[in-house]
């Protein structure tokens, strides 16, 4: 369903602005990495759905309708309704906003903080590097979900705390990867030259080193996008993430969806499909991006 429009995007691209460098890069990417193009297409569709949610959703996502409780998919409610009679399709559409907000928020924050720490650690070296690395080791030992759980427990659960809870476990994972690429960049002649010219540490880190770790940064960023959406779904499912009645995919799987799974399986199936499809798309795109940018780097 969502795959065909992706191909349309790819074929329509050249007519938009002939001769532009961006378009030709895009075209090459699509031709060489068809899987990545499909992923990117699904991501674009998701962004559009999230942006135009009020116009696309047939019902109010939080409107309770006790007359239509647990109605199966049909012409009135395409994907059925939940235990409160809320339209599943509308909640899925609005849920994409939560997923994308948390996904992009946590991935951007986590990857950026990790990149700054990684580059700083590599640039300064010595004691700073040693202590930062030990701290990262300690954080890495905490399983992702346990760290997020503890942070939500400490800070209370609203959306910004949820983003923070997902961000913190990502920082050491990103810092580790970025540091190893930054270590080799530190030895480059242009960094020596910058240092000899008397530039400040800040300028060297921000202007000379950070732009050169862009490839691993982008790769970590796209990998984190999918992970953040998955983690948000898990936390919401546990009741530690987004709270009712906000529409969120993980939350839709909680409680009644499991209780009534036998009689009303649509409640349990569609939100899961939405989570899988979106993470799938981000991973497909991220994978191809990694292959294109840095074939030697292995991320999971």
Partner 1 sequence: MARYIVKRFLLMIPTMIGVAALIFFMMRVVPGDIVELRMSGESGFASKEQIALERARFGLDRPLWRQFVEWMWGLARLDFGRSMWTGASIGSEIQLRFLLSLELAVLATSVAVLLAIPLGVIAALKQDTWVDYAVRIFSIAGIATPSFWLGIVLILGLLIIFKWLPPMVYTPPWVNPWQNLAQLIWPALAVGYRYSAVATRMTRSAMLEVLREDYIRTARAKGLWEKLILTRHALKNAMLPVLTVVGLEFAFLMGGLVVTEQVFNLNGLGLLFVQSVAHRDYTLTQALVLLVAAIFIIVNFLMDLMYAWLDPRIRY
Contacting residues toward partner 1, per CB under 8 A: 35, 134-135, 137-146, 149-150, 153-154, 226, 230, 233-234, 237-238, 250, 253, 257-258, 261-262, 265, 268-269, 271-272, 275-280, 283-284, 287, 298, 300
Nearer to partner 1, 121 or 234 (CB): 234
The residues, ordered by sequence, that sit 6+ positions from 281 with a Cβ below 8 Å of its Cβ are: 38, 39, 40, 41, 42, 43, 46
Nearer to partner 1, 93 or 147 (CB): 147
Nearer to partner 1, 63 or 130 (CB): 130
Nearer to partner 1, 49 or 284 (CB): 284
Per the CB < 8 A criterion, the answer to whether 80 and 72 are in contact is yes
Q: Which of 259, 278, 280 is nearest to 46 (CA)?
A: 278
Residues facing 300 on adjacent strands: none
Min. distance of Cβ 205 from partner 1 in angstroms?
26
Min. distance of Cβ 239 from partner 1 in angstroms?
10
The residues, ordered by sequence, that sit 6+ positions from 192 with a Cβ below 8 Å of its Cβ are: none
Min. distance of Cβ 90 from partner 1 in angstroms?
20
Min. distance of Cβ 33 from partner 1 in angstroms?
11
Min. distance of Cβ 283 from partner 1 in angstroms?
5
Q: What does 2-37 look like in DSSP terms, one character per residue?
A: -HHHHHHHHHHHHHHSTT-HHHHHHHHHHHH-HHHH
Min. distance of Cβ 201 from partner 1 in angstroms?
27
Min. distance of Cβ 298 from partner 1 in angstroms?
6
Q: What CA–CA distance (Å, rounded) separates 54 from 206?
A: 40
Q: What CA–CA distance (Å, rounded) separates 279 from 277?
A: 6
Q: What CA–CA distance (Å, rounded) separates 100 from 226?
A: 10
Nearer to partner 1, 261 or 293 (CB): 261
Nearer to partner 1, 210 or 219 (CB): 219
* Alpha carbon 117 to chain centroid, angstroms: 20
DSSP annotation of 246 reads S
The residues, ordered by sequence, that sit 6+ positions from 76 with a Cβ below 8 Å of its Cβ are: 68
Q: Which of 133, 148, 291, 121 is nearest to 231 (CA)?
A: 148
Nearer to partner 1, 30 or 209 (CB): 30
Q: Which two tokens stand for residue 98?
A: 């939560």
Per the CB < 8 A criterion, the answer to whether 224 and 111 are in contact is yes
Min. distance of Cβ 226 from partner 1 in angstroms?
6
Nearer to partner 1, 181 or 278 (CB): 278
């Amino acid at each position: 369903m969502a795959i065909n429009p992706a191909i349309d995007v790819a074929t329509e691209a050249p007519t938009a602005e002939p001769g532009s460098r961006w378009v030709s890069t895009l075209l090459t990417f699509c031709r060489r990495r068809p899987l990545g193009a499909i992923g990117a297409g699904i991501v674009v569709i998701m962004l559009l759905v999230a942006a135009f949610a009020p116009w696309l959703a047939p019902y109010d996502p939080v409107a309770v309708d006790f007359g239509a409780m647990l109605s199966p998919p049909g012409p009135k409610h395409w994907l059925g309704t939940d235990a409160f009679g809320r339209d599943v399709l509308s909640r899925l559409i609005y849920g994409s906003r939560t997923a994308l907000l948390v996904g992009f928020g946590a991935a951007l924050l986590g990857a950026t903080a990790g990149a700054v720490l990684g580059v700083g650690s590599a640039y300064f070296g010595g004691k700073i590097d040693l202590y930062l690395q030990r701290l990262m080791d300690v954080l890495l030992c905490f399983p992702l979900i346990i760290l997020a759980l503890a942070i939500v427990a400490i800070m209370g659960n609203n959306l910004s705390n949820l983003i923070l809870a997902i961000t913190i476990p990502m920082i050491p994972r990103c810092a580790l990867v970025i540091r190893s690429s930054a270590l080799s960049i530190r030895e480059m002649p242009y960094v020596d030259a910058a240092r000899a010219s008397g530039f400040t540490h800040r300028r060297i880190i921000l202007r000379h080193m950070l732009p050169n770790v862009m490839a691993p940064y982008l790769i970590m960023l796209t990998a984190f996008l999918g992970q953040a959406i998955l983690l948000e779904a898990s936390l919401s499912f546990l009741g530690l993430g987004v709270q009712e009645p906000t529409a969120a995919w993980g939350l839709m799987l909680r409680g009644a969806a499991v209780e009534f799974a036998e009689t009303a399986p649509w409640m349990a199936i569609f939100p899961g499909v939405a989570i899988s499809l979106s993470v799938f798309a981000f991973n497909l795109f991220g994978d191809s991006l990694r292959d294109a940018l840095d074939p030697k780097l292995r991320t999971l």
